[in-house]
């Protein structure tokens, strides 16, 4: 008889504990949402947190739903954006858990969800109060990039949750603010060294109704920083197609082809750039350099001259003119030295030296514009030395520039 009594006593104790935990859920709810008086969110959190880990209540959808509503209410009432965000993240997590448990079949194998609409309403509240966005921005201020990105990314995932629509009509519309938040989420992901998600987000929103120009520019930058040249160029080309007046795309494409050894493509784009900006000295100077590579010497010289006409102190154009003449003389000299007839060879070398002399005023102009241009001084010094053999008057010029260079 004693043994039976003990078994019954244990059973009663277990039942009593279960009731106590379910009572905790009700108690937490009453503290957070009292009929009268001020909500006690801290007390409610303590009670509901205990119920969330208790074996008797942790697997009940109602427990997690009540927990979510408590943390949501606490978040909306909290003035500290960090604390509000932390509560909102928990509320979001708990709503998802409540929905998961709410979808489980009952004892008869039937799924009869009770909380779907209420869960959707609760999560909508988190979204519309920008609780996670504000939290992410605060974390960004302290460069806690993982937390900042997670908060914003969680926010923008909400409209696409399976239960956030009725008859295929979304409960939340993706407006301009939505895409702006995604744009910043991409930046936070990038700062967190998460290039994959950063690029994925920008690819998703690049053609949406939000600041497409800036999105394309950022996306192209992320591609080149990731050493993805193919997508970098493709993004620049698409950006140029969509925003033909935006020099960012055209300028970067030009640089890509200039430094990528594709002067013909660079020249074609420079033609386009100059048609939009005909008074840009730099564009003419760069086109001159590309035509020089393509061995269109007259075209190159004309472009350098045009750059100087527009901007007389444009150093690179003066250097371009000097280089064209110097290289012409160098080729003449090399051909002359290949002639076996010494007399004729000397005559042709003399002609080359005269052409070398024509480049000197332009090299000197470069140094006048930039007295610290050591490379140009070296070129001019070697040129003076070369000319000294045939014309001793250049010895003085050689000595002057050599003395100047020794000071560097």
pLDDT (0 to 100) of residue 282: 94
pLDDT (0 to 100) of residue 168: 84
Runs of H (alpha helix) within 34-102 = 41-53, 61-77, 81-102
Q: Which helix (H) or strand (E) element contains residue 170?
A: strand 169-170
pLDDT (0 to 100) of residue 15: 42
Cβ neighbours of residue 350 under 8 Å, at least 6 residues apart?
A: 390
Structure tokens at 377: 């001084």
Q: Which residue has the tokens 């929905």?
A: 99
Q: Which helix (H) or strand (E) element contains residue 80?
A: none
Structure tokens at 348: 């042709």
**Structure letter (DSSP) for residue 165:** E
Cβ neighbours of residue 340 under 8 Å, at least 6 residues apart?
A: none
CB distance 124 to 171 below 8 Å: yes
CA distance 92 to 150: 13
3-state secondary structure of 338: coil
3-state secondary structure of 351: helix
CB distance 219 to 202 below 8 Å: yes
Give the per-residue SS3 of 278-310: CCCHHHHHHHHHHHHHCCCHHHHHHHHHHHHHH
The number of beta carbons lying within 10 Å of the beta carbon of residue 122 is 22
pTM, rounded to two decimals:
0.79
CB distance 149 to 194 below 8 Å: yes
pLDDT (0 to 100) of residue 403: 87
pLDDT by residue for the chain (408 residues), tens only, comes to 444 444 444 444 444 444 555 778 999 999 999 999 999 999 999 999 999 999 999 999 999 999 999 999 999 999 999 999 999 999 999 999 999 999 999 888 898 999 999 999 999 999 999 999 999 999 999 999 999 999 999 999 999 999 998 888 999 999 999 999 999 999 999 999 999 999 999 999 999 988 899 999 999 999 999 999 999 999 999 999 999 888 899 999 999 999 999 999 999 999 999 998 999 999 999 999 999 999 999 999 999 999 999 999 999 999 999 999 999 999 999 999 999 999 999 899 999 999 999 999 999 999 999 999 999 999 999 999 999 988 888 999 999 998 888 865
Cβ neighbours of residue 392 under 8 Å, at least 6 residues apart?
A: none
Task: Please give the C-alpha separations between residue 245 and each of 21, 85, 242, 248, 272, in angstroms, as whole numbers.
Answer: 67, 42, 9, 9, 11
């Amino acid at each position: 008889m004693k043994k039976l009594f003990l078994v019954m006593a244990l059973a009663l104790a277990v039942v009593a504990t279960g009731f106590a935990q379910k009572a905790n859920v009700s108690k937490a709810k009453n503290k957070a949402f009292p009929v009268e008086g001020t909500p006690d969110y801290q007390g409610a959190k303590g009670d509901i947190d205990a119920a969330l880990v208790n074996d008797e209540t942790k697997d009940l959808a109602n427990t997690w739903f009540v927990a979510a509503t408590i943390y949501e209410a606490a978040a909306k009432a909290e003035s500290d954006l960090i604390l509000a965000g932390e509560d909102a993240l928990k509320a979001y997590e708990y709503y998802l858990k409540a929905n998961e448990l709410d979808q489980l079949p009952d004892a008869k194998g039937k799924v009869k969800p009770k909380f779907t609409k209420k869960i959707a309403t609760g999560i909508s509240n988190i979204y519309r109060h920008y609780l996670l966005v504000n939290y992410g921005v605060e974390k960004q201020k302290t460069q806690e990039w993982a937390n900042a990105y997670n908060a914003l990314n969680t926010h923008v995932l909400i409209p696409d949750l399976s239960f956030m629509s009725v008859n295929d009509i979304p409960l939340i519309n993706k407006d301009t603010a939505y895409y702006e938040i995604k744009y910043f989420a991409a930046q936070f992901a990038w700062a967190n060294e998460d290039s994959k998600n950063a690029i994925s987000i920008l690819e998703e929103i690049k053609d949406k109704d939000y600041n497409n120009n800036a999105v394309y520019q950022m996306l192209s930058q992320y591609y080149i920083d990731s050493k993805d040249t193919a997508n970098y160029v493709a993004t620049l080309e698409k950006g140029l197609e969509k925003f033909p007046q935006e020099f960012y795309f055209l300028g970067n494409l030009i640089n890509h082809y200039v430094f990528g050894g594709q002067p013909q493509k660079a020249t074609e784009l420079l033609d386009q750039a100059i048609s939009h900006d005909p008074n840009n000295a730099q564009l003419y100077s760069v086109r001159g350099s590309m035509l020089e590579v393509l061995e269109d010497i007259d075209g190159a010289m004309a472009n350098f001259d045009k750059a100087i006409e527009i901007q007389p102190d444009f150093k690179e154009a003066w250097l371009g003119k000097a280089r064209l003449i110097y290289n012409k003389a160098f080729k003449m000299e090399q051909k002359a030295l290949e002639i076996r007839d010494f007399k004729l060879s000397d005559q042709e070398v003399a002609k080359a030296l005269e052409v070398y002399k024509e480049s000197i005023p332009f090299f000197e102009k470069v140094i006048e514009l930039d007295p610290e241009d050591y490379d140009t001084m070296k070129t001019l010094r070697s040129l003076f030395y070369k000319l000294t053999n045939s014309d001793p008057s250049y010895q003085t010029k050689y000595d002057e520039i050599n003395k100047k260079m020794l000071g560097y």
